[in-house]
Structure 1
Amino acid sequence: MRLAELSERSGVPLATIKYYLREGLLAPGRQINARTAEYDEEHLRRLRLVRAMIQVGRLPVATVREVLGHVDDDSLGRPIRLGAAMWALPQAPEPDEDDEYVQAAQQEVSTLLDRLGWENAKQLTTISPAYRSLVVAVAAFRRLGYDWGAELLTPYAELMHRTAVLDLDNLETHPSEAERIEFAILGAILNEPVLQALHRLAQEEESTRRDGFE
C-alpha cells in the first residue's frame, strides 16, 4: 500500500506518519522509485502500536524509540527483549535506601517472594523496576500506619500470578515473535488500566452487595 492508504487504514494523519518515519519509529517502506515507497501490514501494525504508546500511554517519542529498539532486537531471547522493553517504560521513583520504611518494605517484599517461591523474581530485585515500585508502595502504606506486609500481600500476589499465566497464554496465540513482544508492550500500556478498572468495579460490586445502596 502507498503512504496515503496507510494513513487511511490506520487513521493516522499523513504528516504524523512522515514524522514517525523521520524519528525512526516506523521502518521505511520498500522503495518503488525515487519518490514512492510501498508499505505492508507490518507497517500498519507497528503504526498502531506507536500510536497507542504515544496517545494512550502518553510516552515521549524518545521512550517509544527505546522500547521499539528492544522489541526489534532479535539477537536477544524473549525474556531479555521483553524485560528490557518493559523496563524502558516510565517507572516509579527509586526508593530511598536510607529510609527506615523502605528498609522495612524491602524485608516484607523479600519475605513475600520467599513465601511464593518466586526465585527468579528474587534474582532480579536489584534491577527490576516492578520490584522497586512494589517496595515504594509498601513503604508508603507503612509510613501511613498500615501494616501492608507479606501476609496481606500473598493472596493478591497469587491472583496476579494467575493473571500472568493468562497473559503469557494469550501471548502465545500470536504467530510471530515480534507480535508477541508488541502484544506484551500493549498489555503494559492498555491492559493494566483494564485490570485496574475491573478491580475498582469489583470493589463497587462487592461493597454494594455487602452494604447495599445508601
Structure 2
Amino acid sequence: MRMAELSERSGITTATIKYYLREGLLRPGRRISATQAEYDEEHLRRLRLVRALIQVGRMPVATAREVLVAVEDESLDRHTRLGAALWALPDGSSGAGGSDADAAHEAAQLRVEDLLERLDWTFARERRDESPAYRMLVRAVAGLSVTGYPCTVEDLLAYARPAAELSVVDLDMVERYEPGSEQVEAAVALTVLYEPVLLSLRRLAETEESNRRFGSGD
C-alpha cells in the first residue's frame, strides 16, 4: 500500500507517519521510486502500536523507541521479550523525598515483600530489583502511608488476587495474535490501552456499590 492508504487505514495523518519514520519508530517502506515507497500490514500493525504508546499512553518519543527496541529483539525467548517490552513502559517515577518519605518507602518495601511471599509470586520476587512494576507498587504503598491512608498486606491481597485473575485474561487475549513481534506488540498495546478501561470500570463499580450502600434508591 502507498502512504495515503496507510494513513487512511491507520487513521494517522501522513505528516505524522513521516515524523514517525524520521524518528525511527517505523521502518522505512520498500522503495519503488525516488519519491515513493510501499508499505505492508506489518507497518500498519506497528503504527497502531506507536499510536497506542504516544497518543494514548502519552509516552515520550525516546521512551517509545526503547519499547520498540525490546519488541524487536528476536534473540530473546517469548517470556523475556514480553517482559523487556513491558518493563520499558514508564513506571510513574516521582521525586518524593525527605526522612518521612524514606521511612515510608522502607516500610512499604517490607510490606510488598510480604505480599509477594504470601502470593508465592516467585518470579516477581527474584526480579524485583529490575522491575518497574515492583518499584511503582512500593512507591504507591509508601504514598498511601505518607498521606495518612496506610494499607495492610491484607488490603493489598484483596487487590492482588483479582489482578492475578486479570493477568490470565490479558495473556489469553495476547495469545490470539501470532507468536513473535505481533504478539509482543499486542501485549504492549493492550497494556497501555486497557489500563484506562480498568480504571474506568473500577470507578463505575464504586458508584454502583456506593449507591447500593448509601443511596436513597432513586
TM-score after normalising by structure 2: 0.91
CA distance in 2, matches of 1:124, 1:84: 12
CA distance in 2, matches of 1:119, 1:38: 47
Give matches, 1:34-113, under 5 Å. 34-93=34-93, 99-113=102-116
- The residue that corresponds to 2:209 in the other structure is 206
Is 2:179 the partner of 1:169? no
Identity, % of aligned positions:
56
CA distance in 1, matches of 2:18, 2:150: 52
CA distance in 1, matches of 2:98, 2:71: 32
Q: CA deviation at 1:207?
A: 0.8
8 Å CA contact 1:29–1:39 kept in 2: the answer is yes
8 Å CA contact 1:82–1:184 kept in 2: the answer is yes
Q: How many residues align?
A: 214
CA distance in 2, matches of 1:72, 1:152: 38
- The residue that corresponds to 2:146 in the other structure is 143
Is 2:119 the partner of 1:116? yes
CA distance in 2, matches of 1:196, 1:168: 19
8 Å CA contact 1:49–1:186 kept in 2: the answer is yes
Q: SS at the partner of 1:65?
A: helix
Q: CA deviation at 1:97?
A: 10
**Deviating 4+ runs (over 4 angstroms):** 94-98
